[in-house]
Amino acid sequence: MVYCGKPSKGCNECRRRKIKCDQTEPSCLQCSKGGRTCTGYRNQLDLMFRDETRKTAHKASTRTSKQRNSRSACQSTPTNSTNAVPSTKLITLASSNTPEEVSRSLSTSLNQQAICFFLHNYVVPCLPTSGRVGYLHSLQSTTSDAVVACMASVGMATLANINYSADLRIAAREQYGHALSLTNAMLRDPVKARQPTALDTVMLLGMFEVVTCRSNRSLSSWRSHHEGALALLKINSKPGPEDIINFRMFVQARGQILSSCLLTSSRAPPFLQGVPREQQGCLPKSEGLLEDVTTLLVKLCNLRAEIEDRSLVSPEDIIPQAFAQEKDFTALFSELWEYYPYNTLAVIDRETPPSPADEVYGKYYHTYTDYFVPNIYNAIRGARILVTEIIEEAAAKLSPSSPLYAQYGNLPLLIEQSRAAALQAAIDICASVPYDLGSIEMKRKDVMRIDGFPLSSIYDQ
């Protein structure tokens, strides 16, 4: 791939007439005033680089062929012409001896490598299920410089982590600063601030902070981006499941905002509630279950917020609510298991690297039906850990004469079961990581199957 420079964003007519295009949607004003049909705008990502592999290989083979023909002509005589190398052989030799020349021609700019890495690893439009920001592949006709800069910064930051490169980390931070400047300019425009790309950029900036997180300062920046995303969601109407692209964008932003609310023990805005089941008709089952999980997560956010601001103080008030939420998460986990069971594979050989064992934290790991499902499982697992934390902290403040001991029969046993379930949830989150990162190759000699079991079996007694 060769970098072609920054392409013009104008429509075809304005580029042909070599005049400035105002890029108004759906038709530019220049075409409208002139009574011409505006053909729209080109996809900027498609124009950034051009595949010249075949052309370069042809040039390399032709050049080498001429050189070899010249040497052969100097060394041959009319009586020994049969020793000359056939032209077809020359082409074969040239093709096998020019990898460096071809490699040099395929070099791309760091920005383009970062963007390609981002699209391949985070969007994944070629797979049955999409990546973290899979909705972007349906919006890739965007001409937003801010979105492109954000993708480049996240891609560079991830590459820096993979390669332990300080230089790449600096370049990623510089690109992030550029993306931040473009985003601020976009948000100052009342019209552009309401466009989907505005929310895209803010969420991608938050993703950058996650990838580069090194201190509390990064977490603070991450939360500030989510506050910005929340403000953008408030000025736009909430999309329904029928508007699937914008709805998935909303879901991505909502998930990050809820994570921030859980981290800071703050209340979740009411409009972040999951879609009720009776309105989930057009959603795939997995996405419908995610809406159910979201409804429970909003309740958990609010419970943690009430404890934090001391609206709830008494353990007798806190523990029943926590147990009720634990029961709801358990039931939803069982339903998720019914539709999307996962396999548990045990590591049996850690002696000969490379092995799946090198990528596994514990003694086993999970494989799922697709990359979307483990995110739902882990949302429930993480919530269960937080609920157990609430139960244990409240139980530590119970007096021996508390009526809860009589109400629950064997309260210490219930607390111990909750603690065991939370520990198992943490182990299972670790077990999901190799599959989620795509960093593991399943090999029969390294693993053996274990019958999977739902988390609910541990504490649903």
To 10 degrees, the CA torsion angle through 368, 374, 378, 381? -30
For residues 452 and 43, give the distance between their C-alpha atoms in angstroms, rounded to a whole number.
46
Q: How would you classify the pairing of strands 447-450 and 343-347?
A: antiparallel
Cis bond before residue 7 (omega within 30° of 0): no
Assigned token pair, 258:
């809820």
Residue 392 has a pLDDT of 96
Q: Would you say the pTM of this structure is higher than 0.85?
A: no
CB 333 within 8 A of CB 374: no
Amino acid at the residue 436: D
- For residue 231, the one-letter residue type is A
Give the Cα separation of 69 and 116 in Å (integer). Answer: 40
Q: Which regions of the chain are under pLDDT 70?
A: 1-6, 43-108, 124-143, 348-358, 439-461
Token code pair at residue 65: 């062929």
Cα gap 197→208, rounded to integer Å? 16
Nearest to 379 by CA among 428, 412, 420, 345: 428
The CA-atom distances, in angstroms, between 414 and each of 83, 91, 303, 428, 456 are 90, 76, 20, 21, 13
In the numeric block, the tokens 């008494």 are attached to 314
- What is 406-427 written as a DSSP string? HHHSSHHHHHHHHHHHHHHHHH
Q: What share of the chain is helix, strand, coil (3-state, %, to 5)?
A: 65, 5, 30
- 323 vs 428: CA distance, rounded Å: 21
| pLDDT for position 321 | 96
What contacts 297, CB < 8 A, 6 or more positions away? 258, 262, 268, 379, 383
Task: Go through the chain and tell me how many residues it has.
Answer: 461
Q: Nearest-5° angle of CA 364, CA 368, CA 372? A: 130
Q: What is the DSSP string of 243-274?
A: SHHHHHHHHHHHHHHHHHHHHHT-PPPGGGPP
Ramachandran angles phi, psi of 343, nearest 5°: -95, 145
The CATH fold assigned to 2-49 is: CD2-Gal4 (4.10.240)
CB under 8 Å, gap of 24 or more: what pairs does 97-104 form?
Answer: 97/64, 98/57, 98/60, 98/61, 98/64, 101/56, 101/60, 102/53, 102/56, 102/57, 102/60
Domain boundaries, the chain: 2-49, 335-461
pLDDT (0 to 100) of residue 451: 38
Residue 380 · residue 432 · CB < 8 Å: no
- State both tokens at 42: 């080109």
**Euclidean distance between CA atoms 152 and 40, whole angstroms:** 25
pLDDT of amino acid 1: 44
pLDDT tens-digit map of 197-206: 888 899 899 9
Per DSSP, the residues of 306-362 read HHHTTS---HHHHHHHHHHHHHHHHHHHHHHHHHS--EEEEE---SSSS-GGGG-SS
